[in-house]
Structure 1
Amino acid sequence: MLSGTPLDLLLLAGGIVALYGGAELLVAGAGRLAMGIGLRAATVGVTVIAFATTAPELFVSTIGALNVSSDVGLGTIVGSNIANIGLVLGISALIKPLQISDRVLRQHVPVMVFAAILLVALGANGRIGRLEGVLFLLALAGFTAGILYAVSEESPPMVDEPDAESGASVRDVALVVGGLVTLVVGSR
């Protein structure tokens, strides 16, 4: 039987695989579910897919903060943002140069900078408590509402393909639930 470091490495690898698999299931199920109930493609991308791809960090940081230390939770959040900007954006640009619209630079990048400044300002006293959590959630809700409004004003409705299934299916719900369960298991 494995013990110590080999077991820890095996558990780490299993957790990484479970987080990846859970995120894939969640994104697939949530995207299909949202499209099945008639949401526009742009709305699905901005909300469902964006939030679903954040789920691994949410589970790892929450369980890390509860079981290990709050430093693990905060480190996961900050590290994930740095990796998303540096690693994901960097590799994507190496593969194919990215065209950045003026709208992204004018609207989304300032919000990202504002979120970083908000983290520094609210955490300056060495603690992020419930009040700060509520402020972060309110800022997120405001940003999301603004995005959804902008998307609804300019995106044409999706045109369904003749052979496409309509409506949400039990399979889509099962993918979402399976993805969430796998994320919980992987984050432990």
Structure 2
Amino acid sequence: MDWDKLLFNTAVFAAGVFMLDYGADKFIDHTVIVGQRLGVSQTLIAVLTAGAEYEELAVVIAAVLQKQSPLALGNVMGSSISNVLGAFSLGLLLHPGPLVFDPSAKVYTALLFSITTAFSILVYFNLLNKVTGGVLVATFLVYMICTCYAIHKGVMEPPEASDSDSDSDSDNDTSDDEHPYLSPRPQGNIVQDESETSPLLTNEEAPTSRKRAPRSLFYHISQLVIGLLALTISGYLLSRSASAIADCFHLSGTLVGLTVVSFATTLPEKMIAIISGSRGHSGIVVASTAGSNIFLLTLCAGVIGLAELPTDNSDRVLLFEVFSTWVSSVMLFLAVFVSANRAVGAVFLVMYVAFLILEFTVYRR
């Protein structure tokens, strides 16, 4: 075993975890603020941001260029399973109360179920080629155009509540700006006593006299982008270091992609689910899961199909893995449309642990 390679990649993995925590915290805070400012559903914003699996795409392209399609396909399938059973479950477990999903979350969940069903059929019957890959990429482009249109429509036609909220905020700012340092003028000898023994501004007046001006929308958008970049970089570092660590133990490409690499690259989604779930943002929890999987099963899978690399029969995906990918999508659909609580989250997490155990024992290769 190459101990130098193992220790180096372990250090890179640890550094990626710290960057991951920083990026997830910044992303969640400013996604909520931007959504409130624009009057847009948090779900739609998160679909275009956290839902874009740039680190996954980087891993897929790198694997395709190295002619390792089993690693790429295993990573796509393993990540889609991990996003639902591993990340979404954490959001359910940490959510403080009952989860209520908006219509956008239900639409994207239903879309994900349809895409996952089609993807599972293509993989099971070995139909992932240049033609079907092109169709998947085209599906992703249509999906992005429709999502952007929905966000544009939300900005142009914000809910009435957001207008009233913004008006009340502006009224408060105006009232605070008017005569900020003036207070009722004391009378008589009280003026002499206070002017000689008291400060010009009392402690009661100080906190209300100076209110920090709200940050601009551009500031929050820039901070959101910084958080997203940190998430993307950390995901790439984690995936590359985890892949190198697994290589030290001589695991197959498909197994590495389904377990180690997919677990590492979905750590950003797990962190987003933990933070947003604990803060009660159920829309972001669903959007991060559904958007990420749509990205994986359309664009990333389409890139693999367009490459159309030959595969070794001994390293192909198994029916169990295809079935697990489809079942995870069904479970997410039922959770969003029927019921989602901590008990459901616990079931999801147990299923993910069982999947990993079976991959490393029964289906090891």
TM-score by length of 2: 0.36
CA distance in 2 between partners of 1:138 and 1:146 (Å): 12
1-structure distance, mates of 2:308, 2:238: 29
The aligned residue for residue 232 of structure 2 is: 20
Query: Could you tell me which of 326, 331, 335 is aligned with 1:118?
Result: 331
For 2:319, the equivalent position in structure 1 comes to 106
Mapped to 2, the partners of 1:105 and 1:45 lie a distance apart of 13
* Counterpart check, 1:92 vs 2:304: yes
Q: Tell me by how many angstroms 1:135 deviates.
A: 0.9
**C-alpha separation in 1, matches of 2:295 and 2:304:** 12
Structure scoring higher RCO (CA < 8 A, sep ≥ 6) equals 1
Matching residue of 1:174: none
In the aligned structure 2, how far is the partner of 1:98 from the partner of 1:64? 39
Equivalent residue runs for 1:1-188 within 5 Å:
3-36=215-248, 39-42=249-252, 43-67=255-279, 69-94=281-306, 96-97=307-308, 104=317, 106-125=319-338, 127-152=339-364, 155=365
- Aligned residue type for 2:358: G
Residue type of the partner of 1:57?
E
Three-state SS of the structure 1 residue aligned to 2:317 is helix
Quote the sequence identity (%): 26
| Alpha-carbon spacing, 1:44–1:105, altered in 2? closer, same or farther (3 Å) | closer
Q: Distance in 2 between matches of 1:103 and 1:15?
A: 36
The alpha-carbon distance between structure 1 residues 6 and 30, as it changes in their structure 2 partners (threshold 3 A), is same
TM-score by length of 1: 0.66
Cα pair distance change 1:32/1:103, threshold 3 Å: closer
CA contact (8 A) 1:35 1:41 kept: yes
Distance 1:146 1:121 in 2: 24
| Partners of 2:332 and 2:290 in 1: CA distance | 10
Preserved CA contact (<8 Å) 1:65 1:71:
no
- Deviation, 1:68, is 5.8
The secondary structure found in structure 2 opposite 1:41 is coil
Quote the RMSD (CA, aligned, Å).
2.8
Name which of structure 1's ranges 22-31 and 73-82 shifts more when overlaid on structure 2.
22-31
Higher gyration radius (CA): 2
**What runs of 5+ residues in structure 1 fail to find an aligned partner?**
156-188
For 1:112, the aligned partner's letter is T
Q: Match of 2:274, SS?
A: helix
Tell me the CA shift for residue 12 of structure 1. Answer: 2.0
Q: Which amino acid aligns with 1:27?
A: S
Offset at residue 91 of structure 1 (A):
3.2
CA shift for structure 1 position 9: 2.2
Q: CA deviation at 1:150?
A: 4.1
Shift of the 59–98 alpha-carbon distance from structure 1 to 2, 3 Å rule, reads farther
